[in-house]
Amino acid sequence: MRILVVNVNTTRAMTEGIAHAARQAASAGTEIIGLTPEFGAESCEGNVESYLAALGVMDAVLKYPGQFDAVIQAGYGEHGREGLQELLDVPVVDITEAGAALALLLGRRFSVVTTLDRTVPLIEDRLLLAGLDAHCVSVRASGMAVLELEENPDAAVAAIVEQAAEAVEQDRAETIVLGCGGMADLGEIIRRRCAVPVVDGVAAAVRLAESLVGLGLSTSKVRTYAPPRQKRLSGWPFGQSAAADAD
């Protein structure tokens, strides 16, 4: 089974980190291909960058020359998953939703811990649209930007662990979801500190994608995610080919 794991920003080092986390989580026999969009932002921390990512991810997947069995959109709180579901016949799993879906099975309520305050609304909105918000008691921001996670890891770790602890104690979360593609290594630290399960969205998405493929399940095409209608697209990197591929 081959799964495309698509980063939402253009920073290749982050793609590699995400692909590494995905491979750690994958079953034997699953091949993980990391893709980086050709255009977009070096990190996604707002709607403009997220809308860019939506297109960048679709573009990267459509240009991928090989076969694949599932696609993971590896950005926390980003736009775009619905577009991939329209374009593709294989299952599409968003890491924001994947983390939440598994968290629901592990404790009564969960919290998401993410980077900047301004990404909180994006995550809340994705969970709301996915019908996965009812048991999410908080989305908390550590105040560390995406790129700071790599630049200043100690401070980032401390800030994130503190938010996780407050989520458990004050918000009554029983499970923590790591709300950022670059946070996978923090799981163990939070788990030790807070004594709760910690779900990494990338790992969850890999296992969920494998599950769907294994069960022969893919996106419903009857209404919302029907293939795009045949029509004239202009001026876009993947232009007509997108619609053509979708038929």
Distances from the Cα of 76 to the Cα of 15, 52, 177, 183, angstroms: 13, 14, 11, 11
Binding to a second copy (CB under 8 A): which residues in 210-239? 210-212, 214-215, 217-226, 228-229, 231-236
Considering the rule CB under 8 A, would residue 45 count as an interface residue with a second copy? Answer: yes
Bridge-partner residues for 5, per DSSP?
A: 34, 72
Considering the rule CB under 8 A, would residue 240 count as an interface residue with a second copy? Answer: no
Considering the rule CB under 8 A, would residue 203 count as an interface residue with a second copy? Answer: yes
Binding to a second copy (CB under 8 A): which residues in 174-193? 174-175
Bridge-partner residues for 113, per DSSP?
A: 140, 178
Binding to a second copy (CB under 8 A): which residues in 47-66? 47-52, 54-55, 58
Question: CA-to-CA distance for 165 and 169, rounded, in angstroms?
Answer: 6
| Of positions 66, 67, 154, 195, contacts a second copy by CB under 8 A | 195
Considering the rule CB under 8 A, would residue 244 count as an interface residue with a second copy? Answer: no
Site string for a second copy, 84-123 (x = CB under 8 A): -xxx---x-x---xx--xx-xxxxx--------xx-xx--
Considering the rule CB under 8 A, would residue 154 count as an interface residue with a second copy? Answer: no
The two structure tokens encoding residue 166? 């407050």
Site size with a second copy, rule: CB under 8 A: 90
- 28-62 burial: b if 16+ Cβ within 10 Å, else e: eebebebbbbeebbebbbeeebbebbbbbbbbbbb
Q: Which is nearer to a second copy, 157 or 242 (CB)?
A: 242
Is residue 88 a contact partner of residue 73, using CB atoms and an 8 Å limit? no
